[in-house]
């Protein structure tokens, strides 16, 4: 059992996450497109490649690195049987995100976030609830263009977060930010596909390793 | 806040008065129980199974005790047996001893929603309202399905079906019915959003594909008039057609038998109407249905009445005769009678006297000093 948990940690890319996407895929899915210069957040300036006709362009090289780290982390969490919660407050992608979560066997929350969900969980759900081990944000802002409450709550409850940050978002409290577009349907579909594939891959690998262990 | 108030009370005055002050000053916020915080115990599957086994065993013991067959012992028999063995004079029915099936006693929603490893069963568990949001998710999926089908038909240049779904005879589920279906509390906003989504789905031209799904959320509305059944005419020994009707007003109850081919004779409790109702007003009330239909001299009436006073008995007989006349008359005239108020039971009864007042509305005389 110990070997099962420690073996993946010795490799830098145990789940070969790098193969899942290329720079061209990201470009075709319009991940590099940001918002206008006026909407730019100060802390996103390191991730921005440049500005063309007032529209910010995100640096895809940095996005590649961040995406690889984030997917690797998600895969490790899924391998260890952690609970992953997909959060997004974009109404257009609500159905897509929920279907992705269902397909992976994980959980989703794309609706109105009630105040004490994470911080007051034992009273809202009952004693003995298990909180999510990872929060994945497909969009860090809520419907009024303010940072989603879940980022702050997860930081309070020591839950790591992975989030797609656009040029108008605050990447501060997110453990694994992924600078990229969160408004185009193509980009969000790409992210959903990538997360789904990593989680399924990680779970399959876990089942294989357990089967191999049982045989020995 | 309550502590501060109590301290104030003590400062005001010692002695027996302080006691009463303390009781009055306690705020309702303290008395109201926080149901969410009290943390209802969650029930596991194994616990419920054990309870069901114990219930079945207890049922058989009870049947043996009462000397009945354990195989055919129904819930009604159980209720009767418990009421016999443990008689209770308590007013509240819920407070009396009862023996019900565990699924009725332990509500569904209190069951623990996660497995042994802590992972919840439902993928929308962390939203808080899992059944409602999964319902919205499903309905939206059907909506997308219908849109996709529509797009396919348009791509193939086929005509879209446009049969108007008859919305007149159906209604959507009420909020309470939906809450029962989902076993979850809903807010008014949630309910209205769901109904709007359903209406959007139904408004699409190709919504017939998902007819089965939509049927689950719509109910038939019975048309009002169909409920009222007008009895057919009966014929007595001489072949004279007659019809009966019953009426009531305040505490008076009356039955009237109206015969056709008559001369306008009315008999009440064996006596003639002129002797029974000396006042003109009461006789006018009796004649009103016949006058309305223009059949004053054409019918005979025999009625019995009891209870109430003079005016109440007259009103009761009027209603009874109007109901009897329905059988002699066309449907249109029945509708006219209904609109005239001849077929409606007068709901006014004597209002009760309240304590602290002299009558139902009259207060005691107010004296300045």
- Picking from A95, A111, A122, the nearest residue to B127 by CB comes out as A111
Give the burial class of B278: count Cβ atoms within 10 A of its Cβ; 0-12 exposed, 13-18 middle, 19 or more buried: exposed
As for the ipTM of the complex, it is: 0.93
| CA–CA gap between residue A92 and residue A186 (Å, rounded) | 12
What residue of B is the nearest CA neighbor of A118? B126
Rounded to whole angstroms, the Cα distance separating A149 from B94 reads 43
In 3D space, the residue among A1, A17, A10 whose CA is nearest the CA of residue A201 turns out to be: A17
pLDDT band at B10 (very low <50, low <70, confident <90, very high): very low
Chain B positions in Cβ-Cβ contact with residue A122 (cut-off 8 Å): 39
* A116 CA: distance to closest CA in chain B (Å): 10
Residue B15's pLDDT is: 45
A10's CB contacts (< 8 A; 6+ apart) are: none
Q: Tell me which H or E stretch contains B179.
A: helix B175-182
Task: Please indicate whether, in this complex, the C-beta atoms of B123 and A123 are within 8 angstroms of each other.
Answer: no
Query: Mean pLDDT throughout A85-108?
Result: 95
- Chain A interface test: which of B123, B124, B129, B184 (most A C-beta within 10 Å): B123
pLDDT computed for residue B110 by the predictor? 63
- CB of B121 within 8 Å of a chain A CB? The answer is no
Residue range A135-170, pLDDT digits in tens: 999 999 999 999 999 999 999 999 999 999 999 999
Residue B12 has phi, psi (to 5 degrees) of -60, -50
With beta carbons under 8 A apart, name residues in chain A contacting B147: none
Q: Please give the pLDDT value at position B29.
A: 45
What does the alpha-carbon distance between residue B215 and residue B314 come to, in Å, rounded to a whole number? 50
- CA–CA distance from B269 to each of A36, A107, B243, B303, B319 (Å)? 93, 77, 17, 6, 16
Confidence at B316, pLDDT banded by 50, 70, 90: very high
CB A110 within 8 Å of CB A87: yes
Whether the per-residue pLDDT at A58 is higher than 90: the answer is yes
CB contact, 8 Å: B141 with chain A? yes
Q: Closest by alpha carbon to B257, among B198, B309, B290, B299?
A: B299
CA distances (Å), A17 to each of A20, A69, A195, B12, B353, in order? 6, 9, 10, 75, 82
B296: exposed, middle or buried (Cβ count in 10 Å: 0-12, 13-18, 19+): exposed
User: CA of B129, closest CA in chain A: separation in Å?
Assistant: 10
Contact flag B126-A95 (C-beta cutoff 8 Å): no
CATH class of the domain comprising A22-113+129-215: alpha beta
How many contacts, defined by CB atoms under 8 Å, are there between A and B?
58
**Which of A38 and B221 is assigned the larger pLDDT?**
A38
- Contact in structure between B101 and B55 (CB atoms under 8 Å): yes
Portion of chain B with pLDDT greater than 70, in percent? 85
Interface contact B144-A95, CB threshold 8 A:
yes
User: How confident is the model over A62-88, as pLDDT tens digits?
Assistant: 999 999 999 999 999 999 999 999 999
The two tokens of residue A11 are: 């490799």
Segments making up each domain of chain B, as ranges: 45-105, 127-220, 234-340
Residues from chain B contacting residue A82 (CB–CB below 8 Å): none
- Residue B107: list chain A partners with CB under 8 A: none
pLDDT given for residue B19 in this prediction: 42
What whole-number distance in Å separates Cα of residue B242 and Cα of residue B236?
7
**Mean pLDDT over residues A167-179, rounded?**
95
Picking from A97, A122, A126, A134 by the largest number of B CB atoms within 10 A of its own CB, the best residue to mutate is A126
CB contact under 8 A, A127 and B39: yes
How does pLDDT run across B90-146, given as a tens digit for each residue? 999 889 999 999 888 877 666 778 888 889 999 999 998 999 999 999 999 999 999
B117–A contact, CB cutoff 8 A? yes
Determine whether domain B234-340 maps to CATH 3.40.50.1460: no
| Spatial distance between the Cα atoms of A96 and B123, rounded to a whole number of angstroms | 14
Q: Is B8 left (phi over 0), alpha (psi -120 to 50) or beta?
A: alpha
Between the CA of residue B139 and those of A52, B133, B134, B203, what are the distances in Å?
42, 10, 9, 14
A24, B168, B189, B213 from B186: Cα distances, Å: 47, 26, 8, 21
Chain B residue numbers touching A98 (CB-CB < 8 A)? 123-124, 137
- pLDDT (average), residues B196-200: 94
Rounded CA-CA distance B68/B342 in Å is 54
Q: Which residue in chain B is spatially nearest to A105 when comparing CA positions? A: B123
Q: Is the Cβ–Cβ distance between A84 and A130 less than 8 Å? A: no
Distance from CA of B108 to the nearest CA of A (A): 14
Output the DSSP codes for A63-117: HHHHHHHHHHHHHHHHHTT--EEEE---GGGHHHHHHHHHHHT-EEE-S---TTT
Task: Show residues of chain A in contact with B40, CB under 8 Å.
Answer: 126
* Domain segments of chain A as ranges: 22-113+129-215
CB atoms within 10 A of CB A37: 13
- Region of B82 (left: φ > 0; alpha: ψ -120 to 50; beta: rest) is alpha
Please determine, for residue B20, whether its predicted confidence score (pLDDT) is greater than 60.
Answer: no
């Amino acid at each position: 059992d110990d070997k099962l948990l420690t073996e993946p940690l010795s490799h830098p890319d145990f789940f070969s996450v790098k193969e899942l996407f290329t720079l061209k895929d990201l470009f075709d899915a319009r991940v590099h497109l940001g918002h206008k210069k006026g909407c730019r957040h100060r802390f996103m300036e390191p991730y921005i490649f440049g500005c063309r006709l007032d529209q910010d362009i995100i640096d895809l090289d940095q996005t590649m690195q961040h995406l690889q780290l984030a997917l690797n982390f998600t895969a490790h969490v899924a391998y260890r049987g952690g609970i992953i919660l997909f959060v997004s407050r974009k109404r257009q992608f609500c159905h897509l995100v929920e279907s992705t979560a269902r397909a992976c066997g994980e959980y989703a929350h794309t609706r109105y976030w009630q105040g004490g969900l994470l911080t007051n969980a034992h009273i809202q759900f009952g004693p003995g609830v298990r909180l999510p081990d990872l929060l994945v944000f497909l969009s860090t802002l809520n419907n009024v263009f303010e940072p989603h409450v879940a980022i702050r709550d997860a930081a309070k409850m020591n839950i790591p977060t992975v989030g797609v940050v656009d040029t108008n978002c605050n990447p501060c409290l997110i453990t694994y930010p992924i600078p990229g577009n969160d408004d185009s349907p193509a980009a969000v579909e790409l992210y959903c596909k990538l997360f789904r594939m990593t989680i399924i891959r990680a779970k399959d690998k876990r089942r294989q390793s357990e089967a191999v262990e049982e045989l020995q | 806040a309550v502590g501060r108030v109590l301290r104030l009370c003590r400062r005001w005055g010692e002695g027996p008065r302080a006691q009463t002050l303390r009781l009055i000053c306690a705020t309702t916020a303290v008395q109201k129980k926080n149901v969410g915080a009290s943390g209802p115990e969650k029930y596991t599957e194994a616990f419920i199974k054990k309870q069901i086994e114990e219930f079945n065993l207890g049922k058989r013991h009870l049947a043996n005790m009462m000397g009945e067959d354990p195989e055919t012992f129904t819930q009604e028999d159980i209720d009767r047996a418990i009421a016999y063995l443990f008689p209770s004079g308590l007013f509240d029915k819920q407070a009396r001893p009862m023996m019900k099936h565990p699924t009725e006693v332990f509500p569904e929603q209190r069951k623990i929603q996660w497995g042994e490893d802590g992972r919840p069963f439902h993928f929308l568990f962390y939203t808080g309202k899992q059944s409602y949001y999964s319902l919205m998710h499903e309905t939206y999926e059907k909506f997308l399905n219908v849109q996709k089908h529509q797009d396919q038909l348009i791509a193939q240049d086929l005509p879209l079906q446009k049969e108007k779904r008859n919305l007149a005879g159906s209604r959507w589920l009420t909020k309470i019915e939906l809450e029962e279906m989902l076993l979850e509390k809903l807010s008014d906003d949630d309910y209205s959003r769901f109904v709007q989504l359903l209406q959007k789905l139904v408004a699409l031209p190709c919504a017939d594909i998902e007819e089965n799904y939509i049927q689950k959320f719509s109910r038939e509305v019975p048309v009002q008039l169909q409920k009222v059944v007008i009895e057919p005419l009966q014929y007595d020994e001489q072949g004279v057609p007659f019809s009966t009707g019953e009426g009531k007003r305040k505490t008076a109850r009356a039955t009237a038998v109206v015969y056709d081919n008559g001369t306008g004779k009315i008999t009440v409790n064996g006596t003639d109407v002129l002797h029974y109702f000396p006042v003109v007003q009461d006789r006018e009330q009796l004649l009103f249905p016949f006058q309305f239909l223009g059949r004053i001299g054409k019918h005979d009436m025999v009625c019995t009445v009891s209870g109430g006073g003079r005016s109440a008995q007259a009103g009761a007989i009027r209603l009874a005769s109007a109901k009897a006349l329905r059988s002699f008359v066309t449907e249109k005239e029945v509708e006219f009678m209904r609109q005239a108020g001849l077929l409606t039971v007068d709901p006014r009864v004597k209002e009760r006297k309240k304590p602290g007042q002299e009558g139902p509305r009259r207060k005691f005389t107010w004296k300045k000093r």
